[in-house]
Structure 1
Amino acid sequence: MSAALPLTACGQQRVAAGAPGTSPSAAPEGTSSSTPSSTPSRSGAGASPYVEPGAHDGAPHYGDNNAYRRPRDMSPASGKDAQREADRIEPVLERLWKQRKWDPKSVRTALLALGYEELRTGPKGEQLGGKLEVRSMDSRYEGDHYVTPEGAQIGLHVHKDACVTAFVQKSNYQVQVNGPYMETGCFEPPTGH
């Protein structure tokens, strides 16, 4: 008798749980191989083969479906350069936040005063110069309509593999370093998919 090899939505073969001749595979180090109590196990064989280890909500293909939301890796040297720029930006955002000035125009003006140049792009999205992007906060759905919260998002392209990503808004501000996102550069993509 042979084990069933169903195809997943992404075309990868997986051995069905409880198929003859199979055993539960070991979970990666630091993760649990036990099945969550809300998900029944199949014949005591362990977690469903369609749930990825570390999937936040137990969804199949969580990693593939959310790859666009993971920043790329930074080299250590680029990470060090990005942190140096983050350390320059953070006190400016703190000052603006205390002054209750979090609109994109005020934030852009304050960061340009540090010597950054605004990012310019061509008609096909190609970068023509500059490294700083300041824009409004992303809109979000509340109740029955979209709202755009007060505040500004900041993206500083330090190197091709390194960004400073920040925001300042009424409730708080934050500055961090990360690699660029696959589809949105220095800005974390909104949820979707």
Structure 2
Amino acid sequence: MTAAAALALTGCGKSADDLFSNLNGHNPPRAHGSSSPTTQAPSRDAPPNHPDNNRVRQPGEMTPEDESTARQKATAVEHALTGLRMRGTINPADVRPVLTRIAGPSHLTVGDLLIGTALTKTEGSDYGIWIGDTACVTGAVTKDRVWVEVNGHYPETGCVAPPASH
């Protein structure tokens, strides 16, 4: 995975809190144990196939065991990345070794932070840590904030959220 698996921000009126929420599409979080992905009817401005087009942005289900392990790792990730952010060392070369120590034998992806459909490079890093067979710790770090989320794998990009599309 390279910078092509990017953090997506559509901009236009989004608050800082909306940055990471867009990583997993527009659907609300699913309740633990939900057997199928939630879907929303498209807005009047969206094409009728919008939910299908964005399916790749919806993470899969996690087993309870993998989710529990991922939540433990997420706490360590947030603590470590907060320290890096406070020191101003948030580029992939700084983030990768810190997350490697936390991820252990897990598959880890760290890349440049790219935003929007134009994939504009901005200061910071995005990351994804594969946990067990079904879970991920995903997120980003910028000079202003650390995002950490526990979710299932994305259908096409594993543990890094796919870039926004049209």
Scaled by the length of structure 2, the TM-score of the pair is: 0.68
For residues 85 and 141 of structure 1, what CA distance do their matches in structure 2 show?
30
SS of aligned partner of 2:130: strand
Deviations 1:102-135 (A, max 9, x none): 0101111222233625xxxxxxxxxxxx511111
1:147 equivalent in structure 2: 120
Q: Which of 94, 102, 123 is residue 106 of structure 1 equivalent to?
A: 94
Q: Which amino acid aligns with 1:84?
A: Q
Q: Which amino acid aligns with 1:107?
A: V
1:15 equivalent in structure 2: none
Contact 1:151 1:167 in 2 (8 A): yes
SS of aligned partner of 2:66: helix
Deviates more, 1:56-65 or 1:177-186: 56-65
Q: Which amino acid aligns with 1:101?
A: T
Question: Over alpha carbons, which structure has the higher Rg?
Answer: 1
2:71 equivalent in structure 1: 83
Q: Which of 139, 142, 146 is residue 166 of structure 1 equivalent to?
A: 139
Deviations 1:61-81 (A, max 9, x none): 222111111001112221111
Structure 1's consecutive aligned runs of 4 or more residues displaced over 6 angstroms after TM superposition are none
Q: Which of 64, 68, 76 is residue 52 of structure 2 equivalent to?
A: 64
Specify whether residues 115 and 55 from structure 1 end up closer, same or farther in structure 2 by C-alpha distance, changes over 3 A only.
closer
Contact 1:116 1:132 in 2 (8 A): no
For residues 57 and 102 of structure 2, what CA distance do their matches in structure 1 show?
30
Does residue 180 of structure 1 match 2:156?
no
For residues 40 and 97 of structure 2, what CA distance do their matches in structure 1 show?
45
The percentage of aligned residue pairs carrying the same residue is 32
Scaled by the length of structure 1, the TM-score of the pair is: 0.59
For residues 93 and 188 of structure 1, what CA distance do their matches in structure 2 show?
18
RMSD: 2.1
Uncovered stretches (5+) of structure 2, i.e. residues with no partner: 1-38
Specify whether residues 76 and 104 from structure 1 end up closer, same or farther in structure 2 by C-alpha distance, changes over 3 A only.
same
The structure carrying a bigger helix percent of its residues is 2
SS of aligned partner of 1:153: strand
